[in-house]
Structure 1
Amino acid sequence: MKVIPVPCLGDNYSYILIDEQSRQASVVDPVEPEKVLSAVKETGMTLKTVLTTHHHADHSGGNKEIVKALPNLVVYGGDSRIPAMTHQLRNDDKFELGSLQVRAIQTFGHTTSSISYYIQDTSADQRIVFTGDTLFVGGCGRLFEGTPSDMYESLNVRLAALPKDTKVYAGHEYTKANLRFALTVDGDNQALKDKAQRCATMACTMPSTIGEELATNPFMRVDQPALQKATGKSDPIDVLAAVRQMKDNF
């Protein structure tokens, strides 16, 4: 299993997912189809599938054009607002991409169409998750359609339950700004300081891991005393809500 990030629209990422065994490729959020199709062509793989993380146009806006170019593509998504969708997913739905095993995880909060794709390559003992705009490296998406409770469930229950070595591929390159904010609410966290220093000179900060996010991401540390102190809240959902508001105003 191989993942190729494709920068799009300034700070977005599309991703090409390659299954070497079947020589199949899938694309995640191909918002600039020509750029993505050119990158797929360079791999020599056959594109079969589109994985859409949510309905926002900077993620799903290329679906119709890429399906026009390749009419037999299977397009997965989380609700009817996904353009060109052929297969609608519910939480814990499972399917295969060649030899790769996929589990859909509904991760509401940013939108109510959000699906994170947890993918396992059992032959290579590899695990990855595409999180769209739900989980960013060092942050999370704004709460446009969901509640703090929804985002808490998505981050601290569903995604946090994945194996810690699961590689995280997020929908935007927001890492440096996210970590600058994180240091204002969790500044004594040595793991966070180390990650901020490590990412400072990186053009692409993908992937992170679930373990790294649990150690450094303030939205996945809402049960920790430092975050409770920074917000003046004790209930983890209230802490998340307060940290999100602070980030919105940062």
Structure 2
Amino acid sequence: MQIEQIYTGCLAQGAYYITSNGEAAIIDPLRETQPYLDRIERDGVKLKYIFETHFHADFVSGHLDLSKETGASIVYGPTAKPEFEAIIATDNQLFEIGNIKIKVLHTPGHTLESSTYLLIDENGKNHAIFSGDTLFIGDVGRPDLAQKAASMTQEQLAGLLFHSLRDKIMTLTDDVIVYPAHGAGSACGKNMSKETISTIGNQKSNNYALRANMSEAEFITEVTDGLLPPPAYFGMNVAMNKKGYDSFQEVLKHGMNALSVTEFESAADETGALLLDTRKNSDFAKGFIPQSINIGIDGDFAPWVGALIANVKQPILLITELGREEETVTRLSRVGFDNLIGHLKGGFESWKNSEKDIDTINRITAEEFQKQVKIGESKIIDIRKESEYAAEHVSEAYCKPLASINDWIKDINPDEHFFMHCAGGYRSMIASSILQARGFRNFSEIEGGFNAIAKTDIPRTDFVCQSKL
């Protein structure tokens, strides 16, 4: 028996590849299937089942393409109603893969169809669970995402989750391994650990939601407290996972369409496409195509695309670093942004060399910020998360998280100058590009963000460890 966790940091997502005696199963695969096909060929095994823990909201699964390419059956837990052929398992149903078995444990709460898959090894021993978004390391799945589809409140779904955890998962022995679908950084929970593997015993001791003697009412209160609004693209990803989607190869073909400067400009005019520049923020600041939005590929790229662009049907034209076109298309497809028209051939340099108009960002160093700022008089916008701001911030700075820029941008006075920063420059350049695309130029963005500011003498609040907030 072999179990491989295939972890994708950008999405904080874990897929699982399992083999036993010539057969294989994959749990919660990503959109691009080639890595899985390569493993199957390498190991000389036949893919028998593709298990889905639920209809994912934060990424588009590769179940459909993978099933077409291998003939493997797609398996969902009870109550799932996909609009394609799949096995809808019953609670406690067993599936054989070589010499091992996978047992379906229906664990509703995150969604109604959510299921945990229990792996029983060659000796008949409970070895591991693949818990999807039901149980994370240090947290449990948020119960507010499926309210509309379930016709239930988040409190009612939390109640279901309470019983799923205690009746199905916490009854397992302490040595059973826990393999979750996500780790820290995912929006599917609020307090996930950076660890991606644990045990039932460890989670009983360290996961707040699995405390002994915890009442259902206490669980509901704690699990629903402090939930941030889900990213706007979540509902659209659920629909794609449930109804179906275009083949990844088709999406890749469109995205890899190399357009000359003239063709790129014409396509932008004709389609109204969003110009997405995925270069490093330091390069973008020095020059970019007017109206383009910068979300750097070297960062939490896909989640920020989903959070800020929101509509997965939005037509997109790409400006990437040379040689990273396919990577960019792949990562966009993972979160359902399939309407790609093509990319600028030769990247930004080709635009620059054609003597087309170029825009820049007014980026200043932390040292220049120190010379120019007047605490108590200057307006300073900190676009980090509220928890980062609460831990420590520049005195008198406003907390305006990037995730809610579409809400606070309308309150900006275009005649009032302000300074803006994040932690290191990645998020503040995203915000800067959005602001300038919407006509605001009355700001200075701070290179290096709060990390650089903290090395100056600019007054700051006392540091508080974020884990204690």
TM-score by length of 2: 0.42
Report deviation, 1:176.
Answer: 10
8 A Cα contact 1:149 1:237, kept in partner: yes
8 A Cα contact 1:7 1:14, kept in partner: yes
d(CA) in 1 for partners of 2:105, 2:174: 16
**Once the two structures are superposed, what CA deviation does each residue of 1:216-248 show, in whole Å capped at 9, x if it has no partner?**
111111625xxxxxxxxxxx1111111112352
Q: 1:55 to 1:83 in 2, by over 3 A?
A: farther
d(CA) in 1 for partners of 2:90, 2:39: 30
Equivalent residues in 2 for 1:133-212 (5 A)? 133-143=133-143, 144-145=145-146, 147-174=157-184, 181=191, 205-212=195-202
d(CA) in 2 for partners of 1:175, 1:219: 19
* RMSD, aligned α-carbons: 2.9
Structure 1 consecutive aligned stretches of length 4 or more whose deviation exceeds 3 Å: 39-44, 57-60, 79-85, 175-182
Question: Which one-letter code corresponds to 1:160 in the other structure?
Answer: M
Equivalent residues in 2 for 1:98-109 (5 A)? 98-109=98-109
Partner-residue secondary structure (3-state), 2:49: strand
- The answer for the alignment partner of 1:189 in structure 2 is none
- The answer for the alignment partner of 1:37 in structure 2 is 37
Partner-residue secondary structure (3-state), 1:142: coil
Report deviation, 1:206.
Answer: 3.1
Q: Which moved more, 1:150-159 or 1:31-40?
A: 31-40
Q: Could you say which structure has the larger radius of gyration?
A: 2
**Once the two structures are superposed, what CA deviation does each residue of 1:65-93 show, in whole Å capped at 9, x if it has no partner?**
111211x2111102444464431112111
Q: Which moved more, 1:215-224 or 1:151-160?
A: 215-224
d(CA) in 1 for partners of 2:100, 2:41: 20
Select which of 179, 200, 211 maps to 1:221. Answer: 211
d(CA) in 2 for partners of 1:69, 1:111: 28
Question: Which one-letter code corresponds to 1:215 in the other structure?
Answer: S
- The answer for the alignment partner of 1:241 in structure 2 is 220
d(CA) in 1 for partners of 2:136, 2:98: 27
Instruction: List gaps (5 residues or longer) in structure 2.
Output: 147-155, 229-386, 388-469
**Once the two structures are superposed, what CA deviation does each residue of 1:87-146 show, in whole Å capped at 9, x if it has no partner?**
111211122122112211111111011111111113384611101001001101110336
Question: Which one-letter code corresponds to 2:75 in the other structure?
Answer: Y
8 A Cα contact 1:52 1:60, kept in partner: no
d(CA) in 2 for partners of 1:214, 1:148: 18
- The answer for the alignment partner of 1:122 in structure 2 is 122
Pairs aligned (count): 216
8 A Cα contact 2:140 2:189, kept in partner: no
d(CA) in 2 for partners of 1:53, 1:181: 20
Larger relative CO (CA 8 A, sep 6+): 1 or 2?
1
Report deviation, 1:148.
Answer: 1.9
Partner-residue secondary structure (3-state), 2:225: helix
d(CA) in 2 for partners of 1:240, 1:101: 32
Q: 1:11 to 1:57 in 2, by over 3 A?
A: same
d(CA) in 2 for partners of 1:115, 1:101: 16
d(CA) in 1 for partners of 2:89, 2:203: 26
Q: 1:247 to 1:99 in 2, by over 3 A?
A: farther
Q: 1:108 to 1:59 in 2, by over 3 A?
A: farther
Equivalent residues in 2 for 1:12-51 (5 A)? 12-19=13-20, 22-32=21-31, 33-51=33-51
Structure with more strand by fraction: 1
**Once the two structures are superposed, what CA deviation does each residue of 1:25-78 show, in whole Å capped at 9, x if it has no partner?**
1100112322332333343432221011001254663111111211x2111102
Partner-residue secondary structure (3-state), 2:221: helix
Q: Which moved more, 1:73-82 or 1:173-182?
A: 173-182
